[in-house]
Structures are given as C-alpha cells and as structure tokens.
Amino acid sequence: MTDLRRLEELGLNSSTPPGQLLYDGWLLRLLPGKAKRARSVNAVYPSTLPLDLKVGHCEDVYERRGLPAIFRITPFSLPPMLDAALEARGYGRFDETSVEAADIDPSRLPPASAQPMELGAFVDAVGALRGSPPEHRASHRARLQGMPLELRALSLCDDEGVVATGLTIVEGDHAGLFDIITREDARGRGHGRRLVASLLHAAWALGARHAYLQVQLDNEVARGIYAGFGFAQRYTYWYRGKPGAC
C-alpha cells in the first residue's frame, strides 16, 4: 500500500502549474482557473518564520496576482496549528475532498471503450462540459501542456458529440485519474464506469500498477462508481478561504 505522504506528493506533481513559488516551506501555486490545487497555498515543509507573518505574505502575493488567498489543508500541513489559525483569521472551510487509491487489475476490468483525444480538443471538451470560461480553459491547457509526466486523455462520444471525458497522468507505477466528467443530460447511463475502466487500461499500458483520484467527499454517486473499481479513501483534505473565495 502506498505511503500516504507519497500519495500526497503524487497528487501535487500531477497538478503542477507553470507558475509557483516556494516560501519558507510553503508552496504557493498561482495559476488562475477552476482547479484550486493549482491556485492555493500548500504547507508541505517545516517552517521557521512566524505564522502570522507567513499568512500575511501569502495574502499579499495572491492579492497582487488578482487571486483570492486559498490554503489547502492536509493531514501533512505544517505547522500543525495552521488550520485553527486560519479559522481564527476568518478563513472558512470548504470543498472537503477524499483522496482514494486502488490497485489496478486489468483482468477484472471491463473492456476499454473510450477513445484517445488530442490534448487541445480534450481541454475544449472538458471546458464545454463544465461550462468553463475561456480563461479557465487557457489555464487548464497551460497546466497540462507543461506537465513533465506522461498522460492520456480519453473521451466517449454519441451522436451529439463528447458525452464524457477523463485523463490519466502516470508517474512511475502510479496513475492519477482526473477530469472525469459526464454530460449532464447523459448521466446515469454507465458512461462514468466505462470511462474509469478505459483510464485504468490506459494507465496499465503506461506501466502503472496503482491508481489514485480525488473526489469531493459528498459526491456519493461518483464515490460509488469508484468503489466498484476498488478505490477506498486514504485521507481527506479541504480548503480554507475568506468568504467568496471558493
């Protein structure tokens, strides 16, 4: 079973944005867009500076970039009192997320049915399914195009176009599953299961033997689908932000 800290590293690597800064053990990610992992503070290493000074510095950095200051809180965040300190400063908690993992066993997977997709077309399809504005799509494209890891973008289509999307990013023998979205009018028809099976087949072909994903804790439908492939919760994280930041 993968060490939890390594699982956190894998998730951070798979969401690396073009712009980020290190500040006294904290990783400040500054890419505008929908993905909060790419525009939040991650307190990943031990600190030496006073906490109030560090939080104030982060607030200034994000304000200069026209972004709300958002902090991602994990079981590994340092210092341990960071979550309580942010709450005391008026930072509300939102978007609790489950990090889940499973071994890949291709012999137990349904056949792959999704088709590979060129990265630019994939980003446009994801943006259309999400209703994302052009600037969010541009940020998504920049992050994936700058990714130093191998990835595969897949989709399912019907007569009206793309019905579902999914992405796998592989590092060593681990694969992350991302951007799993089904068109609203086509949900409940098994497209999500077909997409996940296809992503796991693609990950196996790229050398991955274990998979992980991140799903909002209250998304019971998606978590039920993932559980059918053996995914189980390993830990949770959440974000802290001022009112309106989410």
Q: Which CATH class is domain 101-235?
A: alpha beta
CB atoms within 10 A of CB 133: 11
pLDDT for 16: 87
- Mean pLDDT calculated for residue range 122-130: 96
Question: pLDDT category, 246, cuts 50, 70, 90?
Answer: low
The domain ranges of the chain are 4-96, 101-235
CB proximity list for 10: less than 8 A, separation 6 or greater: 2, 171, 174, 176, 212
Q: Does residue 49 sit in helix, strand or coil?
A: coil
Report the C-alpha gap between 246 and 242 in whole angstroms.
8
Picking from 240, 235, 238, the residue whose alpha carbon sits closest to that of residue 99 is 235
Query: Considering Cα of 127, then 146, then 180, then 67, what sign does the dihedral take?
Result: negative
- Residues forming beta bridges with residue 161, ordered by sequence position: 158
Evaluate if pTM is beyond 0.85. Answer: yes
Report the C-alpha gap between 215 and 121 in whole angstroms.
24
Bigger pLDDT: 20 vs 102: 102
Q: pLDDT for 26-76, tens place per residue?
A: 999 998 888 898 899 999 999 899 999 999 999 999 999 999 999 999 999
Report the C-alpha gap between 17 and 145 in whole angstroms.
10
- Mean pLDDT calculated for residue range 66-89: 96
